[in-house]
Amino acid sequence: MSDYPFIQANGYTPAADRRIRLIVIHVMEDPEKPGTALGVAKWFAKGVDGSPGAMKKPASAHYCVDSGAIIQCVQEHDVAWGAPGANRDGIHIEHAGYSAQTPAQWKDDYSMQMLERSSQLAAEIAARWAIPLRWLTIAEVRDRKTMGFCGHIDVTKAFGLSDHTDPGISFPRDDYMALVRDAFGEPFPLETP
């Protein structure tokens, strides 16, 4: 399905048939530096083993993105364990960086290169699954039928099943969605209200 390097995450659910309605944006809570996507993909592959630095409970995402790489960790037809409440119907994209980043930190060269790379991926996913190019409200995430983009924080607010606040209040979602639209090309047949 994709040409990205693949490192299978330990925590995921095989699925033969599922309806995708969400592209869920995350941050890794890991530094913006070369190799972060690969490092987190390997961490997802390791899973829970009780060693120092291992995950406390299984987690995964479909993709990990940094400024130089995209690593796929779960096949899109399978369920990644990324955001409780939006796992069964979501594709999850993790980004290098932190939820607490400021607007200026999201505008640095590293972040801009990463968001450009991610927007290309998100446009591909949106085209494959006919996902509208729009950011959803919390009510739309909660309704389990409206299709579009959201952050993990929106899933947290919609379902109350985690305490995650990524990608953070300063994530440049309008700029990101503009990059996704540019990557998708014109016209924007999937941009529906």
pLDDT in tens, 13-40: 999 889 999 999 999 999 999 999 999 9
**How confident is the model over 61-71, as pLDDT tens digits?**
999 999 999 99
Where is pLDDT greater, at 18 or 50? 18
User: What is the Cα 163 distance to its own chain's centre?
Assistant: 16
Q: What share of the chain is helix, strand, coil (3-state, %, to 5)?
A: 30, 15, 55
CB 121 within 8 A of CB 65: yes
CB 26 within 8 A of CB 62: no
Residues in Cβ contact with 192 at an 8 Å cutoff, skipping those fewer than 6 apart: 132, 134
**Which long-range CB contacts under 8 A does 151-157 form with residues at least 24 apart?**
151/24, 151/25, 151/26, 152/24, 152/25, 152/26, 152/82, 152/83, 155/24, 155/83, 155/84, 155/85, 155/86, 155/90, 156/83
CB 177 within 8 A of CB 131: no
Instruction: Assess whether pLDDT exceeds 80 at residue 48.
Output: no
Count of C-beta atoms within a 10 Å radius of residue 54: 11
CB 118 within 8 A of CB 93: yes
- Fill in the amino acid letter for 141: V
pLDDT of residue 163: 94
Rounded mean pLDDT, 89-112: 98
Dihedral sign computed on CA atoms, order 93, 95, 100, 105: negative
Domain 12-184 is of which CATH architecture?
A: 3-Layer(aba) Sandwich (3.40)
pLDDT of residue 115: 98
Residues in Cβ contact with 106 at an 8 Å cutoff, skipping those fewer than 6 apart: 97, 115, 170, 171, 172
pLDDT of residue 88: 96
pLDDT of residue 129: 95
pLDDT of residue 164: 95
Q: Count of alpha carbons within 13 Å of 47, Cβ hemisphere only?
A: 11
Overall size of the chain counted in residues: 193
What pTM does this model have?
Answer: 0.94
